[in-house]
Amino acid sequence: METAIRIEGASRSSKFQDGLALYSRLEPCLYPSLNPALVLGHDISHHCPSLMYGELSGETLVKALGLIDELEALPREGEGSLIDIGSGIGKQIFTAACVYAWKRCIGVEIYEKRAKLAEQALQRWKSKQSSIPMLRTRVVDFACDDIVEIEMEGFQVILLVSAAFTDTLMRSIAKVLDSQAVGTLAICITKALPGPKWEVVHKSEREEPWGRAWLIIQKKILA
């Protein structure tokens, strides 16, 4: 169910469907086998709820990019950058790199075991480029780091699967994102970036693999 806060006009998400199909062909090559306990992080998630794993569906990411396209806010192909804060094992970054031609797609994940799985998937892609489909984005990278400890600037789109993030963490992330330019777009899940600098331009309910969630798109309106 969509709320009254929405972007008007017909969805343009269909233009990204070919990229989503591309990712579907790539995924078995990138992730030939996964240990669910390792991905979910049973050893740490019950101690720190913010580290719970919640993977965003490709359909929701495509929906979000379509809505941003309606705002005419997507960067020119080959020029824009996207960062995924809490990128897990990297599936969302690879999906984004398939559905649009970014200059670069960067994933940042604090949980070392998940970050390692993302890096392994990246190495598989690099080693098999001659035999598997190419990404639309040539520069893909992952970092194992705490987002509040790194410099953040120059990203046009920020992805936050933030449903399990605490309010304290969301405030910390919002502070880190102060350096982003006015007009930067943030795709959040269930929990929005707090504060007057980020305006909600779209909010709708979605069904994710782990349950119901809110797709929230925000625009930075104040420096």
Alpha-carbon distance of 71 to 68, in angstroms, equals 5
Structure confidence at residue 213 (pLDDT): 96
pLDDT at site 46: 56
Residue 96 domain-assigned? yes
What does DSSP say about strands 211-220 and 198-208: parallel, antiparallel, or unpaired?
antiparallel
- Write down the pLDDT at residue 41: 65
What's the chain's Rg over C-alpha atoms?
Answer: 16
Residue 40 lies in a domain: no
pLDDT for the residue numbered 11: 60
Give pLDDT tens digits along the chain (223 positions). Answer: 344 344 444 467 788 999 999 999 999 999 999 888 767 665 665 557 667 778 899 999 999 999 999 999 999 999 999 999 999 999 999 999 999 999 999 999 999 999 999 999 999 999 987 788 789 998 999 999 998 888 788 999 999 999 999 999 999 999 999 989 999 999 999 999 999 999 999 999 999 988 999 999 999 999 9
Residue 82 domain boundaries: 12-35+48-220
For the entire predicted model, the pTM comes to: 0.90
pLDDT at 22: 93
Q: Hey, which residues does 140 pair with through a beta bridge?
A: 105
Concatenate the DSSP letters of all residues of 161-201 into one string.
--TT--HHHHHHHHHHGGGSPTT-EEEEESSPPPSTTEEEE
Burial class for 12, CB neighbours closer than 10 Å (0-12, 13-18, 19+): middle
| E runs forming strands in the chain | 81-85, 104-109, 140-144, 157-160, 185-189, 198-208, 211-220
The Cα 164–Cα 72 span in angstroms is: 30
CATH number at residue 212: 3.40.50.150
Q: Is 2 within a domain?
A: no
Residue 43 lies in a domain: no
Instruction: Quote the pLDDT of residue 7.
Output: 40
> Would residue 137 count as lying in a domain?
yes
Structural domain contains residue 4? no
Total domains, the chain: 1
Q: What is the dihedral of CA 101, 135, 213, 191, to 10 degrees?
A: -60
Q: Which two tokens stand for residue 214?
A: 């809110």
Rounded to whole angstroms, the Cα distance separating 61 from 189 reads 10
Residue 165 within a domain: yes
Token pair for 111: 């949980």
Residue 42 covered by a domain: no
**Taking the CB of residue 146, how many other CB atoms lie within 10 A of it?**
11
